[in-house]
Amino acid sequence: MMNPNHPEKTAVVTGGSRGIGRGIVLQLAKLGFKIVIHSRTGGEPAQQTKRDALLAGSPEVLCMEADLADHDQYNSFVQRTFDHLGSCHVWVNNAGIAPQVRADLLETTPESWDHVLNTNLKGPFFLTQSVAKFMLNQRLHNDFSTPDHIIFVTSISSTVASIQRGEYCVSKAGLSMVAQLFAARLASQGVIVTEIRPGIIATDMTASVKDKYDSLIAQGLVPQARWGTPEDVGKVVTAIARGDLNFSTGAVITVDGGLTIARL
């Protein structure tokens, strides 16, 4: 198993400035990882997460900006990341967006569909393709005794239908298959791919529906009877990063307090 405090252990978290991404960054910082925090626009949220990660124990934190729906930008982002870090041992595909308008399925527009799927599905697919090539190259030229990791943060919306944000559900269902595809492709070459499916997590993205889900949780929607937190997701990432699940490539880990348990 790797020494998580080794100074050469590095991680990248897309969408790492806030919400679930921030929770992941702070947990990895506690393990002593050097971290690249990706965000689309940068700004104070990214800088605050950087300061907090340094306080939490990371020896180095860098903020980088890129629009992951833009092919040229995400290829440049991967190149800049590996140029700066020299290598990457844990790559977390966390960045994603919700529809700008929660519209009934019969009112979903092609514009909203393209916007959400380009960011949540097409972008992560080709981003991971680029990351995988860099990871395999670094493994070819270095004697690594432990696996590298690519982690996809998807959603219970991969399998739970929400008819007011159909394009989001489709993007996450597709991303679940992307995780399976890369897990199968990279397994024999020392790169482990894992999918994490969060449930109802308290973030900026869910703030607009807080009252709705407070009521539903009180009525028993979530067996563990609480909102999830970014820290809950971050702790799963750290278990993967430590090497606790090194014989589980392709695993799907649900972080939803039991919401998706089939119940009568």
* CA–CA gap between residue 22 and residue 230 (Å, rounded): 7
213 is catalytic: no
Pick the catalytic residue from 74, 168, 182, 227: 168
Task: Give the helix/strand (H/E) hosting 10.
Answer: strand 10-13
At residue 42, what are phi and psi to the nearest 5 degrees? 70, -140
91 bridge partner residues? 12, 150
For the residues of 123-141, what is the DSSP string, one character each? HHHHHHHHHHHHHHHHHHT
Dihedral (Cα; 177, 245, 21, 133), 10-degree rounding: -60
**Burial grade of 107 (CB within 10 A; 0-12, 13-18, 19 or more):** exposed
Positions annotated as catalytic residues are: 168
